[in-house]
Amino acid sequence: MHPRILKKLATDTRSQHCTRMLTAALLVAASVMSATAGQFEETDRTNPSALQDDANPAAIRSGELWPDDEGVHINAHGGGILKHGDTFYWYGEHKAEHTSNALVGVTCYSSKDLLHWHNCGVALSVTDEHGHDIERGCIIERPKVIYNNVTKKFCMWFHLELKGRGYDAARYGVAVASRPEGPFKFLYSQRADAGTWPLEFGEKELAVVDTLNAANFKQEWTPAWLKAVDEGLIVKRDFPKGQMSRDMTLYVDDDGKAYHIFSSEENLTLHIAELTADYLHHTGRYTRVAPAGHNEAPAIFKHDGTYWMITSGCTGWEPNEARMFSSTSIWGPWTQHANPCRGPKAEKTFGGQSTFILTIDHSSLRSGAGGTPLNNEHSSSISNVQSASNNVQSSINNVQSSINNVQYIFMADIWRPRHPIDARYIWLPIEFEEGKPIIRWREEWKPDF
| Residue ranges with strand state E in 94-152 | 105-111, 118-125, 139-148
What average pLDDT does range 381-403 have in this prediction? 44
Tell me the average pLDDT across 166-193.
98
| Better-predicted residue by pLDDT, 242 or 384 | 242
Q: Residue 141's beta-bridge partner residues?
A: 159
State the Cα angle at 267 between 266 and 268, rounded to 5°.
Answer: 90
Encode pLDDT of 203-262 as tens digits: 999 999 999 999 999 999 999 999 999 999 999 999 999 999 999 999 999 999 999 999
- Domain ranges within the chain, ordered by starting residue: 72-190
DSSP secondary structure string for all residues of 348-381: GGGG-EEEEEEEEEGGGSS---S-EEP--TT-GG
State residue 404's pLDDT score. 59
- Quick one: pLDDT at residue 89? 98
Residue 109 and residue 106: Cα distance in Å, rounded? 10
User: What is the pLDDT at residue 361?
Assistant: 86
Q: Say whether pLDDT at 391 is over 90.
A: no
Q: What's the whole-number average pLDDT of the chain?
A: 85
> pLDDT, tens digit, for every residue of 52-63?
456 788 899 999
pLDDT at 388: 43
CATH code, 72-190 = 2.115.10.20
Instruction: Answer whether 177's CB lies under 8 Å from 214's CB.
Output: no
Mean pLDDT of the 422-427 span:
98
Most confident range (mean pLDDT) of 34-38, 59-63, 405-409 is: 59-63
Strand partners, 358: 409
* Across 294-323, average pLDDT: 97
The 3-state DSSP class for residue 70 equals: coil
With 90 as the cut, is the pLDDT of residue 24 above it?
A: no
Summarize pLDDT for 66-115 with one digit per residue, the tens: 999 999 999 999 999 999 999 999 999 999 999 999 999 999 999 999 99
| pLDDT value, residue 362 | 76
User: Which has more pLDDT, 365 or 273?
Assistant: 273
Segment among 31-45, 69-83, 129-143, 431-445 with least mean pLDDT = 31-45
Question: How does DSSP classify residue 268?
Answer: T
Spatial distance between the Cα atoms of 318 and 353, rounded to a whole number of angstroms? 9
Q: What is the pTM of this model?
A: 0.82
Single-letter amino acid code for the residue at 142? R
- Mean pLDDT for the stretch of residues 287-294: 98
> What pLDDT, on a 0 to 100 scale, did the predictor assign at position 369?
30
* Residue 193 CB neighbour total at 10 angstroms: 23
Return the ∠ at Cα 67 (arms to 357 and 126), rounded to 5°.
70
